[in-house]
Structure 1
Amino acid sequence: MARFLVDVPADDVRKLDEIAKREGKSRAAVLREAVSNYLEESRKEGFEKYFGLWERYGSTVDGLEYERELRAEWPDVGEIASLKKKRSAA
């Protein structure tokens, strides 16, 4: 196991100590867990990385409903096809 020296703001150290006390762990154990979680999250790619993104940041919007609302603004495919036929006939 490697050691490293890092400067951490006093307020963050206080919060770390509160977490460590609440969970019955040492500050070092909490930091090791935090680094491990950070590295795990940074490895995620594509779908895994973005799945649940809205909820993670407090959005209560239903993504599927939002997508349906956006698509409702699109013209009907049949309308587009008939416009193309009219243009090509002219």
Structure 2
Amino acid sequence: MRTLIDITERQVQALEDIAKAEKLSRAAVIRAAIDDYVLRHRRAEGDNAFGLWGEHAVDGLEYQEKVRSEW
């Protein structure tokens, strides 16, 4: 998909510098930057929970003691 955006000359130059250093096209650098942004944003959304623990109603210590008592 193509899209049209407005960016500053400073941003264009920074993209050109990165593209030249990485031997990529400017479009590839922009796609990589968008991928990175989306990944960081999605990761931040998931910070409200720790692993799969949200399914458990008991607190962590209670669960730990219950599991260890089964050994």
Please state which band the TM-score falls in when normalised by the shorter chain: 0.5 to 0.7
Identity of aligned residues (%): 39
1:15 equivalent to 2:14? Answer yes
Q: CA RMSD in A?
A: 1.1
How many angstroms apart in 1 are the aligned matches of 2:32 and 2:22? 12
Runs of 4+ in 1 over 2 A off after TM superposition: none
Larger of the two Rg values belongs to structure: 1
SS in 2 for 1:25: coil
Offset, 1:38? 0.5
Offset, 1:19? 0.3
Which structure is higher in RCO with an 8 Å CA cutoff and minimum separation 6? 2
Aligned length: 46
Name the TM-score, length of structure 2 as normaliser: 0.62
Name the TM-score, length of structure 1 as normaliser: 0.49
- Can you give the 5+ residue segments of structure 1 that lack an aligned partner in the other structure? 48-90
